[in-house]
Structure 1
Amino acid sequence: MAIVNITEDSFSDGGIYIDLPSAINHSSLCIKHGAHILDIGAQSTRPGASEVGTEIEINRLVPLIRELKLLHPEIPISVDTFHHSVAEKVLNVGADWINDISGGRHDPEILSVIADKGCPYILTHSRGNSMTMDSLAKYTNVVKDVKNELSNQIDLALSKGVKNEQIIIDPGIGFAKNVDQNLILLKNIEQFVSMNYPVLIGASRKRFIGSVINEPDPSKRIFGTSAVVSRCVIAGVDILRVHDVKQISQVIIMTKSII
């Protein structure tokens, strides 16, 4: 899954693909380099990010989705949003998946939209919001607590009419977790694979990788990201959400060839 950030303040590539031609070119290049899915976000979800509002999200997303559906009709488009109104609009104009980093907490009405549309839904574990998540990284046992909280959100989604087969789970690396907690989750990733839902991991270039390898520049964290990706492939993770599609595709192919 290729990350396409059409935002001004994403932690790694904010503002680079904010205009439509740049976003189209980047998306097309990601597909050429091996992306199977595009994940488009018009709202940064990094710690400390401000919300831009649903109208700006929709105005950024709709033209890009329409263009990409004409250029690459075979490639599923996932939209990274936690607003039900945005989800409904983008699904109506051709988006295929919704990637909700709040797992339905931010706007529970999104679950009814997902149920109505019958689309794949990435349900992510997180706590709080961009402004508060770092203060909420307190767990008794991070693996058990994250699994339990994911299960609660899955139950809520099912109660709103979402089907089991629509759900993809994401333990939310970097969302209300500190460095050690992220590492513990990755060491125990099989525990999430065993929950019998497809698993997505989005660790690409994240802050905890920078802390471990002492690299403050997110764009230079590709080797740290590659190690995480290889670990995830070995564990049986289904979807890897990444910035550096060409290089990470090679890591995935090589890892698969030796396990």
Structure 2
Amino acid sequence: MSRSEPIARRGSRRDTALPLAGLRGAWFDEVLGPDDADVRARLSAPRPDLCGLTLDRPRVMGILNVTPDSFSDGGDHAGFDAAVKRGIAMAGEADIIDIGGESTRPGAEEVAVDEEIRRTVPVIEALRGAGVTTPISIDTRKARVAEAALDAGANIVNDVSAFEFDPELADLTAEHDVPVCLMHAKGLPDTMQDNPSYEDVVGEVMDHLERRIGFAVDRGVKRDRIITDPGIGFGKTLEHNLELLRHLTLLHDFGLPVLLGVSRKRFIGTIGHAPEAKDRLGGSLAIALHGAAQGMHIIRVHDTRETTQALALMAALDGEV
């Protein structure tokens, strides 16, 4: 299928420029592929607000893993008190808090539903009880976990399986009428990095996301509630990740908000000679700024304070503050 890929630019705008995906700091005036008035309207239109947040600038989603085995910070916030403390701090640094109770790192095994609920729901309840009003996303593939989290005060569903693991999660999302992020992944976490292959990684990711968007809409999810995510690192080699990162603006062809999650991932360590995940801040910031330049609406990161600072400097250089 032929798709439209706007060429992202920043800084001083040409007279013919249009905002890229409704963002103030990014623009385009050239499109690869089909290009007409309808295409340009889709590529430039403002994206719907997200839980009261405008998406006219990149938003930072902070990762709060309440798991003992996440690839980057496993165990750091597995305890209740540590998780709540970090969540309160994150509320002052990020626009969204993404709470997950099941690691989806390569090789990770599935966590039982009741255990995932036990890990996540008390933290959500405690954050709301402490007065945190920041939107909270529940990072889960399971309907029962999402339901418990939404009842506890979460606002967004973040499903790395795009409703493939548990199709009933689509029905729940539609029933609650909450935003949902649909991510591309090839295979399950325990096997997804076992020699993943594609003939055309960019085209196949786009086709998969289009099918999952269609599935969600067919199950009653409103299209303007959907966020897309190319799934960097989920069933992809280093070369696959780089190819997707070079063509991020293709995702704007859906006319939907886009989330980019690359923080501390293995390919950053490989390229940047940082075998330990916590030593990958520099590379994570580089990719976060690249994503912002390509019109990503949500940047999902571990290092919320540093990423927020970097984005603020980028906006200032572009004259957006």
> Cα distance, 1:121 vs. partner?
0.3
Structure 1 counterpart of 2:76, one-letter code: I
Question: Paired residue for 1:216?
Answer: 275
Question: Paired residue for 2:304?
Answer: 245
Unaligned runs of at least 5 residues, structure 2: 1-60
Equivalent of residue 27 in structure 1, options 84, 87, 102: 87
Q: Deviations over 1:42-86 (max 9, x none)?
A: 000000011121000011111111111122342111010001111
* Residues 88 and 132 in structure 2, CA contact (< 8 A), matched pair in contact too: no
* Residues 171 and 221 in structure 2, CA contact (< 8 A), matched pair in contact too: yes
Equivalent of residue 223 in structure 2, options 164, 172, 181: 164
Q: Deviations over 1:104-140 (max 9, x none)?
A: 1111111000010000101000021011211362111
Q: Within 2, Cα distance between the matches of 1:184 and 1:174?
A: 12
Q: Does 1:11 align with 2:74?
A: no
Q: Deviations over 1:163-187 (max 9, x none)?
A: 0111010000000111011011111
> Cα distance, 1:141 vs. partner?
1.1
TM-score (norm 1): 0.97
Alignment of 1:62-77 (within 5 A): 62-77=121-136
Q: Within 2, Cα distance between the matches of 1:190 and 1:100?
A: 22
Unaligned runs of at least 5 residues, structure 1: none
* Residues 193 and 235 in structure 1, CA contact (< 8 A), matched pair in contact too: no
TM-score (norm 2): 0.79
Please tell me whether Structure 1 or Structure 2 has the larger radius of gyration of its CA atoms: 2
Question: Paired residue for 1:2?
Answer: 62
Q: Within 2, Cα distance between the matches of 1:106 and 1:143?
A: 22
Q: Within 1, Cα distance between the matches of 2:315 and 2:186?
A: 33
Aligned-partner SS, 2:133? coil
Alignment of 1:1-259 (within 5 A): 1-32=61-92, 34-135=93-194, 137-259=196-318
Q: Within 2, Cα distance between the matches of 1:198 and 1:148?
A: 17
* Residues 77 and 96 in structure 1, CA contact (< 8 A), matched pair in contact too: yes
Q: Deviations over 1:141-169 (max 9, x none)?
A: 11111000000011001110000111010
Q: Within 1, Cα distance between the matches of 2:147 and 2:309?
A: 35
Instruction: Identify which of structures 1 and 2 has the higher relative contact order when contacts are C-alpha pairs closer than 8 Å and 6+ apart.
Output: 2
- What is the aligned-residue RMSD (CA, Å)? 1.0
Q: Within 2, Cα distance between the matches of 1:135 and 1:218?
A: 20
Q: Within 1, Cα distance between the matches of 2:314 and 2:114?
A: 42
Q: Within 2, Cα distance between the matches of 1:174 and 1:72?
A: 35
Structure 2 counterpart of 1:161, one-letter code: G
* Residues 180 and 226 in structure 2, CA contact (< 8 A), matched pair in contact too: yes
Return 186-195 or 5-14, whichever deviates more: 186-195
Q: Within 1, Cα distance between the matches of 2:130 and 2:253?
A: 37
Aligned-partner SS, 1:25? helix
Return 197-206 or 187-196, whichever deviates more: 187-196
Structure 2 counterpart of 1:203, one-letter code: V
User: Which structure has the highest helix share of the two?
Assistant: 1
* Residues 203 and 242 in structure 1, CA contact (< 8 A), matched pair in contact too: yes
* Residues 119 and 166 in structure 1, CA contact (< 8 A), matched pair in contact too: yes
Aligned-partner SS, 1:153? helix
Structure 2 counterpart of 1:239, one-letter code: I
Aligned-partner SS, 2:119? helix
